[in-house]
Amino acid sequence: QVQFVESGGGLVQPGGSLRLSCVGSGTFFSAYTMGWYRQAPGKQRELVATISRSGRGNYTDSAKGRFTISRDNAGKMVYLQMNSLKPEDTAVYYCNRNPADINRWGQGTQVTVSS
């Protein structure tokens, strides 16, 4: 199965911003709730935010007020705008369906928040 492909990560100072992008595939992309996940060193992968088929976003407490998830169904894209980044946001970020499809995990994109 075709995996999702994430991009947009990088090194940013605390308080900075990044916009992550994810390109999907498949005929029924718009039919799925999508999510952004992250995995920090030594920790399990965790959910950060989800977006419904209609574009309604939901956020974990760590992301609420700082991150914004959006999607472009025609382009099969999902985005994560991250503002006011903190060192604890450092992780590899992934997108996937929600619930996640274990066969579609991509390589992720590294986000490092450090001064």
pLDDT tens per residue across span 37-96: 999 999 999 999 999 999 999 999 999 999 999 999 888 999 999 999 999 999 999 999
pLDDT beyond 80 at 2: no
- pLDDT of the residue at 42: 95
Tracing tokens 């965790």 back to the chain, one arrives at: 46
- pLDDT of the residue at 36: 98
Contact yes or no for 55/49 (Cβ under 8 A): no
